[in-house]
A and B are shown apart, each in its own frame.
Chain A
Amino acid sequence: MRIPCPFCGERDAAEFLTIGSAPPPRPAADAPMAAWHDYVHLRDNPAGLHAELWQHIHGCRQWLRVMRDTRTHVVAGAEACRR
């Protein structure tokens, strides 16, 4: 598995660490408990294209938003989280 880092070019997945799904927007601090439960615990877990966050820990250390197919591990693209 290789990830095309927008800063370093295509690099082996061993250089990256993932924390999983790119989360939806964070609920407001006073949002109801159900919204927080959804945000913290529930996942779409799709079989197919999946937006996820990876950090290039052994490279530029930037956080990337990666689109990857969970059925084939093919990476469709990666962009910097910080613009």
Chain B
Amino acid sequence: MRHSALALLRHALTGNRSWAPSWRDPAPKAAYDTLIVGGGGHGLATAHYLAKNHGITDVAVLEKGWLGGGNVGRNTTIIRSNYLLPGNTPFYEKSMQLWEGLEQDLNYNAMVSQRGVLNLFHSDSQRDAYARRGNAMRLAGVDAELLDAAQVRAMVPGLNLDSQRFPVKGGLLQRRGGTARHDAVAWGFARAADQLGVDLLQNTEVTGIRIERGRVLGVETTRGFIGAKRVGLAVAGNTSRVAAMAGLRLPIESHVLQAFVSEAVKPMIDTVVTYGAGHLYVSQSDKGGLVFGGDIDGYNSYAQRGNLPVVHDVMECAVQLFPSMSRLRYLRQWGGIMDMSMDGSPIIDRTPVDGLFLNCGWCYGGFKATPASGWCFAHTIATGQPHALNAAFRLDRFATGHVIDEKGAGAQANLH
């Protein structure tokens, strides 16, 4: 079934009684050509591009819960490609380009909104750093504009530029950045993959990885053994646990990141604003709620919920930046488990086990990467070789010293 304005009208006029399910709920086959573990954004995008770009349709996605119940449905939905380092910039720009055509490609409304992402700076040295980043972006063909304080004031009414301690001096703006409806991204990739023949197996937890003579043979699951020639792991915060089933020890720590939504108000912020003197990013959803978040809590966690110190910190930053937010109540708050890597950059690569592939290390920036991650992971799995765009995201880069550390923070996961 294709979605269109006409179909929407027809269903509306017939009382919305004849919508078909968006994907099948098949029983697992005994074996597949390729298994993707993890039905988050990256796993689903990988399955879609395996089928679409490489004609590999004998594929199943194994998800222990429900599709989109992990980080893909928990993030603050910001998409951007404002990266500094050569290993990162072309990859994230590819992702941005895929976002720009995603809804047509998937025939699904992912509510991609290029409302701009504005990173504020508050000091001369921060201005220099952002000017450098903007220049690096432009050299790589990515759009970037350096705004002064007056331009920021005109663009974001309600923003407090004149704080005594951290006055806003300007901002780096990527107009093509913005937001996308996170659940719809998962659902859109799922539906498109299903239509190309991919089996989406929910409530199917991988509990073991069967390996013989250094080659993967399939996975043990809560619904029995499923054989496969190739297995790709895309399990985000659970990466260390699943990779351990294959005897791998990784440069990854799991950390909790929280997000917050306020009560709905009239249009107030029509872009994405990030605070440079604390850590805060805020946008407004179409329903009117302000969606915002800040730092990870900072300690290892698998709990999918955080603690009060970070709640306080995020609220303080929010009110500092938008004093009118002090009058708002926040409605909801939750957490997701991030796969923090030791240099803050991702891994999309083969592993020492033949036929086993790894996609992880997204820290708290993996939502924007969803399309390109799926694109590159599918290429790596299908051809056995990394795509040029993920050639730098190697698993062995930590051992060889080729780390991609945007922040220059070193091998400390809670600082990235």
Residue of B250, B301, B412 near A19 (CB, 8 A) is B412
Q: Is A1 an interface residue (CB 8 A)?
A: yes
Q: Which residues of A contact B131 (CB under 8 A)?
A: none
Taking CB atoms and an 8 Å cut-off, the chain A residues in 55-83 that contact chain B are 68, 70-73
Assess the A68–B253 pair: CB atoms within 8 A.
no
Q: When the two chains form the complex, which single residue of A1, A18, A41 contacts B411, counting CB atoms closer than 8 Å?
A: A41
Q: Are A20 and B309 in contact (CB under 8 A)?
A: no
Q: A18-B298, A37-B398, A52-B300 known; A1 and B249 CB under 8 Å?
A: no
Option from B252, B309, B411 in Cβ contact (under 8 Å) with A45: B252
CB distance from A33 to the nearest CB of B (A): 7
A43 / chain B contacts, CB cutoff of 8 Å? 240, 249-253, 413
Asked if B303 and A20 make an inter-chain contact with CB atoms under 8 angstroms apart, the answer reads: no
B342 located at the interface, meaning its Cβ lies under 8 Å from any Cβ of chain A in the complex: yes
* Minimum Cβ distance to chain A for residue B188 (Å): 31
In the complex, A20→B416 CA distance in Å? 13
Residues of B within 8 A of A52 (CB): 299-300
- Contact: B251 with A41, CB < 8 Å? yes
* B411–A40 CB distance below 8 A: yes
Q: How far is the CA of A68 from the CA of B399 in the complex (A)?
A: 29
Residue B414 is within 8 A (CB to CB) of chain A in the complex? yes
Check if A34 sits within 8 Å of B399, measured CB to CB. Answer: yes
**What is the total number of residues of chain B having a CB less than 8 Å from a CB of chain A?**
25
**Distance in Å from the Cβ of B356 to the closest Cβ of chain A?**
18
Provide the residues of chain B in CB contact with A71, threshold 8 Å.
302-303
Contacts A18-B414, A20-B412, A37-B398; is A42 near B249 (CB within 8 Å)? yes
Residues of B within 8 A of A42 (CB): 249-251, 398
CB distance from A45 to the nearest CB of B (A): 4
Q: Count residues of A near B (Cβ-Cβ below 8 Å).
A: 27
Please measure, in the bound complex, the distance between the C-alpha atom of A17 and the C-alpha atom of B307, giving whole angstroms: 14
* B299 cross-chain contacts in A, Cβ below 8 A: 18, 20, 52, 68
Is A41 a contact of B342 with CB atoms below 8 Å?
yes
Binary per-residue interface labels of chain B (219-251) against chain A in the complex, 1 for a CB within 8 Å, 0 otherwise: 000000000000000000000110000000111
Interface string of A12-47 (1 = CB under 8 A from B): 111001111100000000000110011011111101
Q: Complex formed: what's the CA distance from A33 to B411 in Å?
A: 16
Chain A nearest CB: distance from B410 CB in Å? 9
Q: Is the CB of A45 within 8 A of B253?
A: yes
**Residue on A nearest B300 in the bound complex, by CB:** A70
Task: Decide yes or no: A73 and B398 within 8 Å by CB, A18-B414, A45-B254 being known contacts.
Answer: no
Bound form: Cα–Cα A40–B400 in Å: 13
Residues of B within 8 A of A45 (CB): 240-241, 250, 252-254, 300
B398 partner residues in chain A, CB cutoff 8 A: 37, 40-42
In the complex, the answer to whether B414 meets A20 with C-beta atoms within 8 Å is yes
B residues 156-189 with Cβ under 8 Å of A? none
- CA A43 to CA B312, docked complex, whole Å: 30
Name the distance in Å between B155's Cβ and chain A's nearest Cβ.
35
A21 to B298, CA, bound (A): 11
Question: Are B399 and A21 touching (Cβ within 8 A)?
Answer: no
Contact of A72 among B249, B298, B303 (CB under 8 A): B303
Question: Within the complex, which residue of B251, B309, B399 is in contact with A13, where a contact is CB–CB below 8 Å?
Answer: B309
A1:B307 contact, CB within 8 angstroms:
yes
Q: Is the CB of A70 within 8 A of B301?
A: yes
Shortest A16–chain B CB gap in Å is 9
Is B20 in contact with chain A by the CB < 8 A criterion? no
Q: Which residues of A contact B309 (CB under 8 A)?
A: 12-14
10 example contacts (A-B, Cβ-Cβ < 8 A) are as follows: A17-B298, A18-B414, A19-B412, A33-B399, A42-B251, A43-B251, A44-B249, A45-B252, A52-B299, A71-B303
Q: Which residues of B does A touch, CB under 8 Å?
A: 240-241, 249-254, 298-303, 307-309, 312, 342, 398-399, 411-414
